[in-house]
Chain A
Amino acid sequence: MTTLALETEGLSVSFGRFRAVDGVSIQVAQGELRVLLGANGAGKTTLMDLISGRTRSTAGRVLLEGRDVTNQREYRIARAGLGRKFQIPSVFGGLSVRQNLEVSLVRHPGVFANLRFGLGTTDRQRVSEILHLVGLADLATADAATLSHGQTQWLELGMLMGQSPKVILLDEPTAGMTQAETAKTAEIINGLRGRHTLLVVEHDMAFVREIAERITVLHLGKVLAEGSVAEIEANAAVKAAYLGTQEISEC
């Protein structure tokens, strides 16, 4: 049996008396695309914060490729092979699109190792390749701050490709997007599949059906159900807790 790409064991965190994430154990295999579902406040984003080191957990462990990275600092977890896209896109606004991608190609993370000029040929090719993959080749010299919301999201996905971590966390990659933009995002994400292990938080059920293999449903900080799209859609407990009535789920 190969090691799991990402595993949490009884991961928990409390804010005061409120247990936002309560003993969550999930196993994500190499190359899998897992979708996290859950109503607002179910603890999806908090779970991502715990895995990526943004929030310190109060109990449980996080294993990345079998390595214990529980409560390490963000940059250490990132170096261990984790990448993350935020719900509100976060790129380097003052740099050009190309520079953003150049920064994302992390060969050596240290200050002194980077006292060099420019990139090698392979890296430069990789940047051009990513620019085409995310459809921003024509905007390579534009400042990232001038991009539209959708373009910013794609740039951030492009930066994840540049960073090329083993495991990628995506927090609502289609939030606020038009239908056309959502379709393009699905295409980009499907392109990441296989090469990377993905954990995606998403609300848009149409989008989930398009990309998901397995789904984990969180409810009130706990794992409520896990299974394929069809299984989850048929699951009575999930319907009661999250989907509620059909109208709300399509909202």
Chain B
Amino acid sequence: MFDILFIGLSLSSILLLVALGLAVTYGAMGIINMAHGEMVMLGAYVAVLANIWLGANLLLAIPLAFVVTGALGYAMERMVVRRLYGRLLDTLLATWGIAILLQQAIRLEFGLVFFGLHVEGLGAGLQNVPVPGFLQATLTVFGQELNTYRLFIVAVTVVLTVLTWHVLYRTALGMKVRAIIRNPQMAAACGIDVRQTNSITFALGSGLAGVAGVLMAGFRSVSPDMGATMVVDGFMVVVTGGVGSLLGTVAAAGILGEINALTAITFNEITGRAAVLLVVILVILLKPAGLFSFKGR
């Protein structure tokens, strides 16, 4: 039982890693960023390239990926998303177009293939990143062998969640972000630079996705299309948890991850995934505001 719970926990932490960035961009900004999965994918490629070209290990790739995907998110907000505020479904469509562009950029090695050039680490094939030795061991807890890398992921997720919470609820930036959620015009009237804040928030959400990508590179192979399914999972977590509620996102990730693990081990992988989808559908039908939203008047 403990081992199942632990698998569930590590599934949850991966869901949460992906959903955390979305909780910021969708939950706080109301932007449906379909390219979020591709930000995760790019984070994973930063790890791949850092390993090949700089000889940097996974841990060093984390800040690097945060900066790269964060900068890209910033640019994306400036160039595309900014024009679409208030058109929720259109942000979904435009960012989906961006997602394809990013995937193809990696697959076509930024277009260099057309000139006969190849970059090691890019392209359509699968890539792998070695995990540092000290994270490959197994620990024995309560008579169970636990993979240290999975423990490491759980730990990093906890740290990132706390940091995100801190940024949103204990810093000046977070206060601005929350003011903008409530009333953008009023926030602007109070002297908040709404545009700048939105750009930074979007960059933050994208940066979190990049970090998630680095961690994923450590336990699965990296490919240009790895992000496509993730964004769907991430959204389901955020919506199930209740939009705008970070706590809800954490709880939803926990619940969905455990449900996935329990059903997958009792039946099979497909049933596990189906069970998660079913729960999400039911939650939206029965509690459209999400499990953990607090509705006032």
Contact = CB atoms under 8 A, between A and B. Distances in A.
Physical contact A–B (CB less than 8 Å) = yes
Interface of A: 15, 20
Nearest to A18: B297
A15 B296 CA distance: 8
Chain A residues touching B, majority SS: strand
B104 to A, nearest CB: 35
Contacts of A20: 297
Contacts of A15: 296-297
A15 B294 CA distance: 13
Contacts of B297: 15, 20
Nearest to A20: B297
Nearest to B296: A15
A15 B295 CA distance: 10
A20 B296 CA distance: 13
A234 to B, nearest CB: 34
B228 to A, nearest CB: 33
Nearest to B295: A15
B160 to A, nearest CB: 35
A20 B297 CA distance: 10
B90 to A, nearest CB: 15
A220 B141 CA distance: 60
Contacts of B296: 15
Interface in B271-297: 296-297
A143 B244 CA distance: 34
B241 to A, nearest CB: 23
B87 to A, nearest CB: 14
A30 B130 CA distance: 82
A185 to B, nearest CB: 26
A29 B296 CA distance: 35
B293 to A, nearest CB: 15
A40 to B, nearest CB: 14
3 contacts: A15-B296, A15-B297, A20-B297
B103 to A, nearest CB: 35
A46 to B, nearest CB: 8
